[in-house]
Amino acid sequence: MYRLIGLQLLLIAVLGGVVAWITLPQLAYAPRGIDWHWHWSYFQPFANGIQVTRTQDTKQLVLRRVHLNDALVVYLSTTIDNKFEIDVVKEGACEANTQQWVTAAVNNQSLSHIPMVCEKSGQSSIFRYVTPRPQTLEFGIDETFITEAFVDWPIKDIKVDQFQQQHPEFFKKQGAQVPHQWLRD
């Protein structure tokens, strides 16, 4: 009996170690000075789950999915005028302000060749797209091709958070706490 319990505990410890070995590098990848956490409702231990954080300056809620093997990160956040910003970042050295042509389609549009711009740091390139309703993303660079279905992302969380930040007085009258203040004016 004790051996069976010991074996089960060992199996749980090994499985936990494997999950940590797979998931911790994703949290630590390209943090950009921000502390990322798993969005536990969208945590996928053997795949690329959704991560969440708040920016330090504006306290804006930001989501991301790391494609570690492809050195790509897909970010989703809101703009000041309540649209969504999709950023695809390719980590790796590049010449600042130069362009690399990639294949992309957003919201079920046709694939097209568009420029991805090397950031000023020379450490990564970025593709940025703003849309009122993110639906899909297809993105290809070099030998890598990824797809995202934003219906599988917690977009409501971002919308609710931004609404609460923009209208804190309404929520305070209802007796609710608004933990983060609107800081993007």
> Is-contact 112 101, C-beta < 8 A?
no
Angstrom distance (rounded) from CA 77 to CA 159: 9
* pLDDT number for residue 101: 95
pLDDT in tens, the chain (185 residues): 777 777 777 667 656 555 555 656 677 777 777 889 877 666 566 567 899 998 888 888 999 999 988 999 999 999 988 899 999 999 999 999 999 999 999 999 999 999 999 999 999 999 999 999 999 999 999 899 999 999 999 999 998 888 888 877 877 787 777 666 666 65
**Domain range 2-173, its CATH number among 2.60.40, 1.10.287, 3.90.550, 1.10.10:** 2.60.40
104 φ/ψ angles, rounded to the nearest 5 degrees: -150, 155
Per-domain boundaries in the chain:
2-173
pLDDT of 10 reads 66
164, 158 contact by CB (below 8 A): no
- The pTM for the full model equals 0.83
First to last CA, the chain: 64
Residue 62's nearest CA partner among 73, 71, 70, 52 is 52
